[in-house]
A and B are shown apart, each in its own frame.
Chain A
Amino acid sequence: MVSRSTLKLVALGSTALLGTASLIWHTHEKKGRGHVLASKSGAMIDAACTLNRGSAMLALSVLLDSGMEHYRGEFKNRAMYTPLVLSTCALLASGHGVQDQKPSAHRLRDPIYLCTALSGVVGTGFHLYNLTKRPGSFSWTNLFYSAPLGAPAALVLSGVLGFYSERVRDAAHSPVPRVLGLPADKAVALMAAAGLLGTAAEAGLLHFRGSFQNPAMYLPVTAPPLAAGLLAATAMAGPEYPRLRWFSRLWLRFTTLMGLAGAGFHAFGIARNHNGWRNWRQNLLVGPPLPAPPSFTGLSLAGLAAHTLMKKSDHWCDSGAADDR
């Protein structure tokens, strides 16, 4: 059994570790010593591939999470197979997209992403129905234990991230890259920020259900909202605030790593249930969902893609403005 003071120590230690790792990663890239995820075809394609990675991360999370949860729900409703099918498609599409350097939207990937996002919306409707039909409707008990309201949103985000990656590719050669009317960098930034906030809320609800019994459970309700806030501020503020951008990128890296660490924490949480992993047939299902935390990773990557787009937009502004004069 683990004492509360040990848990506090682990939480603090993990936070420090994540912070250090984020700084190291940050410094590495700044010094141009090999952008981990760089591409050769320019910033726009780079951003598009990052968005594909984000979409893939989310799709994988949804595939495994909805697989487990819908299995727990015995696939009572045939529609419960849909997120498994579509997240697989999104995953495959993103896998394809990551190695695709062409500056144009793909014929197949586009509709796959659209369907994925749409099915997430429909899924939210299903989950809403599942919740409200129980006694108590919008009660805490139902928010805790019926179909999680925020879960299908991960599928929506996966589809939207993928959709954005296609739009960014399309806009790769435009003078002013725009996605759905908004400048590309702002659009992606705001969407990622919204995604981070929503996912933090979902994690917050379930960690509240777990009574925040492990102090580390406060991480996903503090870091992602901060990252979201900084990202949105950066997007709206413009290029005159380099310090803000620096902080925003740092927090996004922190949140990226935090998502992966979260899976580790969830494995620890499963181990803390009765008989731990030996009772996996029960604890894998009732314990904290292993595949859920990496959705933060996917969304933070999208946020970092937004930063790439912002840099590109700055360069264009600088050069364009000069040309105009």
Chain B
Amino acid sequence: MTGKRYPGYDVQSKRQTSSWNEPTRRAIDERLALPREPRFFNNLEWEILNAACARILPQPEDRAPVPLAAMVDAKVFSRQGDGYRDVRLPPLPQAWRCGLAAMDAEAQRRHHRSFVLLTADQQDALLHAMQRGELKDPTWGDMPAAVFFSHRLVNDITHAYYSQPAAWNDIGFGGPASPRGYVRLGENSRDPWEAMEAKPGLERKVSEVNRRVR
């Protein structure tokens, strides 16, 4: 069940209010205008990445999907690192190349098919195995599969997702807040420009309220 806790809520409805400032509008616009085509990954890597994104961060059907793969591609293309690297990992671009290739190799090893062609369950099973450190195909090289899983695969994809307004809407986050911050800081208190949570059965009413949030 996704996206129904805060029906009708959209942080972007506050773009022109004092909750958003100019640097924020520019930053979000830039993010939303990201090219959807890969600049770093080749075709196969791109397909594997897309398949992985769908499993790591399943998105609700009722809205346009956030382009997670494109965001990861952009990060790797710009070599936008985290400012540090676990020594067990090679630098960002190599880690991703290696990891995606290894994922495909593992899929071939288990199911004689590309990762892209596996069923969702099969993909999940493989990802769980990766998380548990059970994958040892030589394609991984010196990079432990579990470290690639946590530090790169899941980290980069989920960071991309939760940098998007659509994700903020799902979790009822107040969103950008400058110059206007918050007044009501106590429990069960929301400011008129925050999302209202819908208790079961009250989705319609709450949706009305959230649509008017400014």
Contact = CB atoms under 8 A, between A and B. Distances in A.
A8 interface: no
Contacts of A72: 183-184
Which one of B180, B181, B184, B189 has the greatest number of beta carbons of chain A within 10 Å?
A: B180
Contact of A285 (B18, B183, B193): B183
Interface size class of chain A, counting residues whose CB lies under 8 Å from the partner chain: 10 to 19
A74 B196 CA distance: 13
Given A72-B184, A74-B184, A275 B179 contact: yes
A282 B18 CA distance: 10
Contacts of A274: 179, 181
A275 B180 CA distance: 8
Contacts of B181: 274, 282
B184 A281 contact: no
A286 B180 CA distance: 12
Interface residues of B, number: 10
A211 to B, nearest CB: 19
Interface in A252-281: 274-275, 278-279, 281
B189 A281 contact: no
Contacts of B189: 74
Contacts of B18: 275, 278-279, 281-282
Nearest to B18: A279
A74 B184 CA distance: 9
Nearest to B188: A76
Nearest to A278: B18
Interface string B1-32: 00000000000000000100000000000000
Interface of A: 72, 74, 274-275, 278-279, 281-282, 285-286
| The 8 nearest A-B residue pairs measured at CB | A275-B179, A285-B183, A282-B180, A279-B180, A279-B18, A274-B179, A279-B179, A282-B183
Interface of B: 18, 179-184, 189, 192-193
14 contacts: A274-B179, A274-B181, A275-B18, A275-B179, A275-B180, A279-B18, A281-B18, A281-B180, A281-B192, A281-B193, A282-B18, A282-B181, A282-B182, A286-B183
